[in-house]
């Protein structure tokens, strides 16, 4: 039995998220269908991060076990020929039998993109949250520095997650100004790199930083939210479309 690790990219706009749901098509469903058509098997899929509806991925990692003898370097070609254009396998490796995409992940990087222009760019409507009011980037960076480190992030998660503890380490929380393109005004990107993330944590972090940037939330409120775990002291959950899973690190 072989263990195959895949590097996956997808535009999550038209999907209900990674996991199968009764109300639509999931990323996992489409990938499993491609694997079934390629190998004749129905393996269990293990994923680094269960992205929600509308969330994108540039560096999602999946593994599955198979008896297939297809050369590992041919898997991307075989699977992509059966996948829709908004889901693609961009790498494949044969890994040790006990490798697990979720449990062996050591850190993850998510990005959150904000179109901070007076008018929303049609080119970004699937991939960025639009905020027409000018954001104070320096204030956002000051709030981000408060949130970096190892903390109890209970105030920065939504109900419904299965995590046993809300303590996580944010190695880096950075607010970047990206060079504007010819059809784009001001573009910001929040990058969150940590050892793990709670349900909706990055979107709530992004919503909190945006409210600080708008002057709707103070740095003291951010500190209080972190200290008390009170969800109402943190910001709103930012729209899913701005979020992208960029990279997952493993010991190898």
The runs of H, that is alpha helices, within the chain are 27-39, 75-80, 137-147, 201-213, 219-228
Residue 214 and residue 116 share a domain: yes
Give residue-wise pLDDT tens across range 137-187: 999 999 999 999 999 999 999 987 677 899 999 999 999 998 866 556 789
Of 143 and 123, more confident: 143
What is the phi-psi region of residue 54: left when phi exceeds 0, alpha when psi lies from -120 to 50, beta otherwise?
left
Within 10 A of 173 (CB to CB), how many other CB atoms are there?
Answer: 23
Considering its fold, how many domains does the chain have in total?
Answer: 2
Coil/strand/helix, residue 227 = helix
CATH at residue 79: 3.30.70.580
CATH at residue 202: 3.30.70.660
Residue 152 and residue 61 share a domain: no
pLDDT value at position 185? 74
Residue 9 and residue 65 share a domain: yes
Give residue-wise pLDDT tens across range 223-233: 999 999 999 99
Residue 127 and residue 89 share a domain: no
pLDDT value at position 164? 85
Where does a domain end: 30, 65, 95? 95
Residue 172 and residue 232 share a domain: yes
Residue 62 tokens, joined? 């999946």
Name the residue with tokens 């930083």.
209
Residue 177 and residue 54 share a domain: no
251 noted as active-site residue: no
Strands 187-194 and 107-115: antiparallel
Residue 242 and residue 135 share a domain: yes
Residue 81 and residue 146 share a domain: no
Task: Tell me the average pLDDT across 103-131.
Answer: 95
Residue 71 and residue 177 share a domain: no
pLDDT value at position 159? 82
Contact (CB, 8 A) for 158 and 232: no
Terminal-to-terminal C-alpha distance of the chain: 21
Strands (E) located in the chain: 2-10, 46-47, 56-66, 87-95, 107-115, 129-130, 149-152, 167-178, 187-194, 243-249
Give residue-wise pLDDT tens across range 9-38: 999 999 999 999 889 999 999 999 999 999
Point out which residues pair with 66 in neighbouring strands: 2
pLDDT value at position 179? 80
Q: Which residue in 52, 115, 152, 220 is the catalytic one?
A: 52
Residue 245 and residue 201 share a domain: yes
Tell me the residue range of the domain where 222 lies: 109-249
Q: Over 171-188, what HEC string results?
A: EEEEEEEECCCCCCCCEE
Give residue-wise pLDDT tens across range 58-111: 999 999 999 999 999 999 999 999 999 999 999 999 999 999 999 999 999 999
Where does a domain end: 66, 95, 124? 95
Model confidence, pTM? 0.95
């Amino acid at each position: 039995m072989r263990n195959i690790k895949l590097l996956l990219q997808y535009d999550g706009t038209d999907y209900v998220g990674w996991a199968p749901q009764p109300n639509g098509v999931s990323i996992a469903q489409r990938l499993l269908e491609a694997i079934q058509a390629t190998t004749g098997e129905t393996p269990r899929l293990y994923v680094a991060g269960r992205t929600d509806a509308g969330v994108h991925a540039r560096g999602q990692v999946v593994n599955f076990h198979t008896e297939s003898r297809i050369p590992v370097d041919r898997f991307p070609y075989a699977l992509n020929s059966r996948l829709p254009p908004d889901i693609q396998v961009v790498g494949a490796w044969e890994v040790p039998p006990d490798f697990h995409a979720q449990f062996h992940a050591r850190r993850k990087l998510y990005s959150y993109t904000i179109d901070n222009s007076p008018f929303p760019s049609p080119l970004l409507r699937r991939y960025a949250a639009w905020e027409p009011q000018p954001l104070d980037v320096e204030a956002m960076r000051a709030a981000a520095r408060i949130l970096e480190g190892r903390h109890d992030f209970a105030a920065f998660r939504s109900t419904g997650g299965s995590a046993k503890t809300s303590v996580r380490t944010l190695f880096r929380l950075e607010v970047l100004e990206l060079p504007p393109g010819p059809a784009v005004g001001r573009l910001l990107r929040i990058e969150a790199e940590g050892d793990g993330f709670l349900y909706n944590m990055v979107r709530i972090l992004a919503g909190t930083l945006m409210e600080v940037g708008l002057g709707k939330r103070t740095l003291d409120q951010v500190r209080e939210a972190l200290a008390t775990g009170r969800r109402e002291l943190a910001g709103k959950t930012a729209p899913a479309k701005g979020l992208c899973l960029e990279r997952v690190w493993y010991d190898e």
